[in-house]
């Protein structure tokens, strides 16, 4: 199992409507056939600690049964649509993939 964790820092000038559209784009990724499951969220209001990183705007977590299915997702046309539509809004993106 692969857990694909993606952290997004977005353009701070985005409107509430644009953020809602971005959330819809994140949800659309759950529908891609090779995705086993997923969720997204915003930083938690946990106490600030030296080891805590919570400056991101959104976190996306997707799960795949295998590396091959993860790799298929990366080139899937629906993933490409998401990237093309929303990447102009990204200030930074970080990806952390974990083998479970």
Q: Are 90 and 14 in contact (CB under 8 A)?
A: no
Q: Is 78 helix (H, G, I), strand (E, B) or coil?
A: helix
Structure confidence at residue 95 (pLDDT): 98
Instruction: Using alpha carbons, list the distances in angstroms from residue 47 to 44, 59, 91, 93, 97.
Output: 9, 18, 25, 23, 25
Per-residue model confidence as pLDDT tens digits over 4-37: 999 999 999 999 999 999 999 999 999 999 999 9
Structure confidence at residue 72 (pLDDT): 98
Structure confidence at residue 78 (pLDDT): 98
Per-residue model confidence as pLDDT tens digits over 36-71: 999 999 999 999 899 999 999 999 999 999 999 999
The pTM assigned to this predicted structure is 0.94
Place of tokens 């659309």: 28
């Amino acid at each position: 199992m692969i857990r694909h964790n993606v952290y997004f820092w977005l353009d701070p000038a985005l409107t509430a409507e644009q953020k809602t559209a971005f959330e819809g784009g994140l949800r659309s990724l759950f529908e891609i056939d090779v995705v086993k499951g997923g969720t997204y969220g915003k930083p938690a209001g946990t106490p600030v600690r030296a080891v805590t990183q919570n400056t991101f705007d959104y976190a996306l977590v997707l799960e795949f049964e295998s590396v091959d299915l993860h790799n298929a997702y990366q080139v899937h046309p629906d993933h490409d649509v998401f990237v093309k539509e929303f990447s102009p809004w990204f200030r930074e993106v970080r990806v952390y993939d974990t083998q479970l």
